[in-house]
Amino acid sequence: MLNQNNHNGNIFMKVSAALAAMTLVSGASIGMYKLASERSEAAPAQNPAVVTETAETAETESSGSTAGAPAVNMSWVEMASSADALTIPEIAAKAMPSAVGISSTFTYTPQNTGYGNFAFGGMRGNAQPASQEVQAAGSGIVMTSDGYIITNAHVIYDTESEYQMGKATSVTVIMGENHDEEYEAEIVGYDIQTDLAVLKIDAEGLTPAEFGNSDDLQVGELVVAIGNPLGFELYGTTTCGIVSAKNREVQLEDRTMTLIQTDAAINAGNSGGMLLNAYGQVIGINSMKMSASYGEASVEGLGFAIPINDAAEIIRSLIENGYVTGRPQLGITGATVSEEQAAFYQMPQGVYVYSATESSGLQEGDVITAIDGVEITTMDELNAQKNLHKAGETVTLRINRGGEIKTVQVTLQESVPEA
């Protein structure tokens, strides 16, 4: 997540996802954003879907989990670790060279306050709000020795903050033992839906992370998080905890993410950083946390990470295509017609179409009330049904057009993000 401030200190930007706080925040909560197989006798295999190369690591010989009750006076770290696990200092030493910082610069232009044309002392002018630069700090993971870096989408693309600034105008990757090496980064691709992004820097000989198998995780297993909470003054902060739950569904606005829950400390700035297993392998990408105050409850130790197995195919597509292929879209812009709006304007509840592509067969003013026979009243419900399909497939929409009920066949287009 990110905590972001502009250079003048008059903007505190909240971008959520990787440490989301009811909002994808760079400082977090789970709000805006609204995994048990036995371990094999050897350390879990790397995930071939993500890794094309790995750093050299010391060989460890596994003897499997010890049967029976834990030994007397055994610490929680020992109870949460396999017999062949690395120590926490060993995990940190192995992974730290692959942990980086991400600094993103966004351009924010305040909306005109209404005093655009003004007269004062007989002189007229046109006051235009001045653009400001907003800085965001996050974390990242070295994927390959030649400079591919993994992070969260919200670290480099703002859709969740109140400012809605879009893609960062520049991104810098920070690394090195003293975090004094800086590289200008290219945004290779990003996917807002899964909160993943890939960057590329012009560098060779980097130490790539070793990736594990997130499907092998067990509840209660030791995990370690490395990232940059609250910015780079705390660069490379290492925290540890356990897997609190697997396959935890977390709702963030109109999308549901299935994540690893952990009590390892994750805070703003950890977004896009690594969650490691007891072998020092990346098994998750830290993405969000429950805020310190959730409703009337005070909460702690509720962090969430994207399972690396789920991220693998997305990352590959981002590298190969710059976006995730096959995602469907109707070709419209629209909004939910609330119950109150429906009563006031004497129209049905559903999704009001503001604009539509010619190929969609829809028109401005249409209200979509059903898709494939399923009644819908909100944009979220429409998207949920649409996302059951792939680009190129056809769906049947029931619409209200000026009081007349019609049925329209729409061939779903491929969703391609803005350049």
Q: Please give the full DSSP string across 242-254, using - where no structure is assigned.
A: EEEEEEEEEEETT
Instruction: Output 36 or 235, whichever has higher pLDDT.
Output: 235
Q: Name the band, by pLDDT with cuts 50, 70 and 90, for residue 301.
A: confident
Q: Assign domain 328-414 to its CATH architecture.
A: Roll (2.30)
Q: Name the band, by pLDDT with cuts 50, 70 and 90, for residue 187.
A: very high
Parallel, antiparallel, or unpaired for β 222-227 and 274-276?
antiparallel
Residue 123: exposure state from Cβ atoms within 10 A (0-12, 13-18, ≥19): exposed
Per CATH, domain 1-33+88-109+132-325 is 2.40.10.120: yes
Per the listing, tokens 């250079």 go with 7
Q: Percentage of the chain with pLDDT > 90?
A: 55
Which of these is catalytic: 154, 191, 317, 360? 154
Largest CA distance in the chain: 89
With contact defined as beta carbons under 8 Å apart, do 311 and 324 qualify? no
d(CA 51, CA 46): 7
Angle 323-269-103 (CA atoms, 0-180°, nearest 5)?
65
Which of these is catalytic: 191, 195, 216, 310? 195
With contact defined as beta carbons under 8 Å apart, do 95 and 273 qualify? no
pLDDT at 177: 84
Handedness of CA 102, 255, 388, 336 (dihedral sign): negative
Strand ranges in 279-366 using DSSP code E only, listed in sequence order? 282-289, 293-294, 297-298, 303-307, 328-329, 332-337, 350-356
Q: What is the pLDDT of residues 3-31, one digit of tens each?
A: 333 333 333 333 333 343 433 434 332 22
Average pLDDT across the chain, whole number: 80
Instruction: Output 344 or 159, whichever has higher pLDDT.
Output: 344
With contact defined as beta carbons under 8 Å apart, do 334 and 353 qualify? yes
Q: Name the band, by pLDDT with cuts 50, 70 and 90, for residue 395.
A: very high
With contact defined as beta carbons under 8 Å apart, do 244 and 261 qualify? yes
Q: Name the band, by pLDDT with cuts 50, 70 and 90, for residue 294.
A: low
Of 17-21, 153-157, 248-252, highest mean pLDDT: 153-157
Q: What is the pLDDT of residues 372-390, one digit of tens each?
A: 999 999 988 998 899 899 9
Which of these is catalytic: 104, 271, 287, 317? 271
Distance set, CA 253 to CA 135, 162, 193 (Å): 24, 14, 10
d(CA 222, CA 145): 27
SS3 of residue 162 by DSSP: coil
Distance set, CA 75 to CA 61, 221, 351 (Å): 22, 13, 55
Dihedral, CA of residue 66, residue 70, residue 74 and residue 80, to nearest 10 = 60
Q: Has residue 272 got a pLDDT over 60?
A: yes
Smallest Cα–Cα separation from 395: which of 377, 373, 415?
Answer: 373
pLDDT at 126: 55
SS3 of residue 369 by DSSP: strand
Domain segments of the chain as ranges: 1-33+88-109+132-325, 328-414
**How many CB atoms sit inside 10 A of residue 233's CB?**
11
SS3 of residue 67 by DSSP: coil
Smallest Cα–Cα separation from 378: which of 417, 405, 350?
Answer: 350
Q: Name the band, by pLDDT with cuts 50, 70 and 90, for residue 53.
A: very low
Cα-only R_g, the chain: 24
Q: Percentage of the chain with pLDDT > 70?
A: 75
Instruction: Output 353 or 123, whichever has higher pLDDT.
Output: 353
d(CA 88, CA 70): 19
d(CA 140, CA 130): 31
Verify whether residue 154 is a known catalytic residue: yes
Per the listing, tokens 């396959």 go with 247
List the single range of 5-9, 44-48, 282-286, 298-302 with lowest mean pLDDT.
Answer: 5-9
pTM above 0.85, yes or no: no
Single-letter amino acid, residue 392: G
